[in-house]
Amino acid sequence: MAREAVDTGPHAPVRGVLTTLTPLIAGWAGNKLLSVSPSGSFAKGTANHSGTDIDLFISLSEETTETLQQIYEKLFDRLTALGYAPKRQNVSINIKVNGYDVDLVPAKRQNALSNDHSLYRRRAGTWTKTNVQTHIAHVRAAGHRQETRLIKLWRNQKNLDFPSFYLELAVIEALRNTNYATLSDRVAACFRYLRDTFSNARFVDPANTNNVISDDLTAAEKQRISTAAGQALNSTWDQVIR
């Protein structure tokens, strides 16, 4: 845990990425840019040093005329032109900035009365409504950051396709109404949940119940996670997480 600790304080070096990218993003978005702010695991306190260093949420005005797919692709093209060698992901675009691994999430605000945004889902070729501030508050309030960080570390080391927010929701559900005294017992409880219950469990976005998070993985992908969790429970800790 100490090795994987991430500095998320106001003077964290990784926040320099925001200083570097904001003028470039502003040049691309023009007067339609509302804000660029840390989101994802960094903002929730569930990030690991060996994972993505920071997620930046790009909020565009509801007056933006381009479709969500056009916004996504135009940002990708601009980053390519600037020499960042971007990689397409599901709702984000990954780039390297000054040695840091950065995920950019472009989204369009739905209206000026809330923080609800629409964002492009590339894998499904559609869009969804969400609220990243609700996500951040939901995960932080659950209080399972250590367990989540360890399950994320296991996911990465086992090369499992398990979207971070989906994983965070699964950990919260696994530990709901439990009272295990030690961190190792709580992580083992997460593995048991992933092995026994996860594959058939339905997870919805707390910011939009029409957005079914569990639809982001196929049955085969869920089964791979379940199988890996079962293997973890039959292993020693040094075999589960390095």
pLDDT at 234: 96
- The residue-averaged pLDDT of 45-67 equals 93
pLDDT at 84: 96
Percent of all residues in the chain with a pLDDT value above 70, rounded to a whole number: 100
- Which residues neighbour 188 within 8 Å (Cβ) at sequence distance 6 or greater? 233
pLDDT at 175: 98
User: What value does the mean pLDDT of the chain take?
Assistant: 95
pLDDT category of residue 54 using cuts at 50, 70 and 90? very high
In the predicted structure, residue 52 carries a pLDDT above the cut 80: no
- φ, ψ dihedrals at 38, nearest 5°: -60, 140
Kindly report, residue by residue over 148-181, the tens digit of the pLDDT.
999 999 999 999 999 999 999 999 999 999 999 9
pLDDT at 196: 98
pLDDT at 148: 98
Kindly report, residue by residue over 109-155, the tens digit of the pLDDT.
999 999 999 999 998 899 999 999 999 999 999 999 999 999 999 99
pTM: predicted TM-score of the whole model, two decimal places: 0.89
Percent of all residues in the chain with a pLDDT value above 90, rounded to a whole number: 90
Task: List Cβ<8 Å contacts ≥24 apart for 61-69.
Answer: 61/31, 61/32, 61/33, 61/34, 61/108, 61/109, 62/108, 62/109, 62/110, 62/111, 62/112, 63/32, 64/29, 64/32, 64/108, 68/107, 68/108, 68/118, 68/119, 68/120, 68/127, 69/120, 69/125
